[in-house]
Amino acid sequence: MILTVTLNTALDVTYAVDALVPHTSHRVCDVTERPGGKGLNVARVLGALGHDTVVTGFVGGATGDVLRGLLAPLPPRDALVPVAGNTRRTLAITDRSTGDTTQLNEPGPQVSAAEWAAFLRTYEELIGAADAVALCGSLPPGVHVGAYAELVRIARAAAVPVLLDTSGEPLRRGIAARPDLVKPNADELAQLTGFREPLRAARDARRRGAHTVIASLGPAGILADTPDGTWRAAPPAPVRGNPTGAGDSAVAGLLSALAEGLDWPQRLARAVALSTATVLAPAAGEFDAAAYAELLPRVGVERVGTTA
């Protein structure tokens, strides 16, 4: 079983419009709603790939009820912890004339000390049955900034491989707890290390405690600095579409390939193909299965040197 943690879950709402023009009214052509937040997106992709997956984190209020209703028929199993506040919404507005997307993200609900303690009990129960765990996304108000470091240490104590995908101070503190893998984007990595050059930044992040660093380079693919070598992987051509959830699909690709025992080039090819196929999908947090199958053998993976 793969466990994904989303402390700041969301109801992802996608609006499609013919053309997005500031300061005007728009007629929405299509509306979709999906259970979201980074870890839930990861879990949905893992489920679509055939992996047994459990989701946990916080959920609450009327929006949380909608989220759980949408999650119920999907493969990931629901182990979300209720809170008194209302789950946030994210709004993606897709411009059909350009393929570009504008994203609006609400803040999450306030989490009390008692609610955090209830989550920790659930997490510790689930981690014992997990083959791997992904800790994903932002922290909702009320959750202490070292929360991910605490969760990394619990996973390591249980000898469960842990992937961390967050940013800012939670990432800085989480890396110090020595996660097996972190997956920041280039800007998050630069903010963490002070280095704009991705390989230098990735190696600095490893010195800070991460066992392996997978740096997302946006349309240019990903860079992986691992104890076994350093690779770059890129899609065969740039694509345009809705990028919501693309990084989460990359995380799902990495975790699924790890669970299947694939080597690093195969893991990276899967991550890039899934990420690109997610950009091409019409709704947030989904991937185009036909595009994924076509892209996978065409992803370019090259070794770029030795590790530091």
Rounded CA gap, 68 and 147, in Å? 24
Among candidate residues 54, 63, 234, the one with its CA nearest the CA of residue 160: 54
- Identified catalytic residue from 78, 248, 263, 288: 248
Amino acid, single-letter form, for residue 149: A
Rounded CA gap, 213 and 266, in Å? 16
| Structure tokens belonging to residue 11 | 């109801």
248 is an active site residue: yes
- What is the C-alpha R_g of the chain? 18
Contact of 25 with 48, CB cutoff 8 Å: no
CA atoms within 13 A on the CB side of 108: 22
| Structure tokens belonging to residue 275 | 């990420």
CB neighbourhood size of 260 (10 A): 13
- Could you give the residue numbers annotated as active site? 248
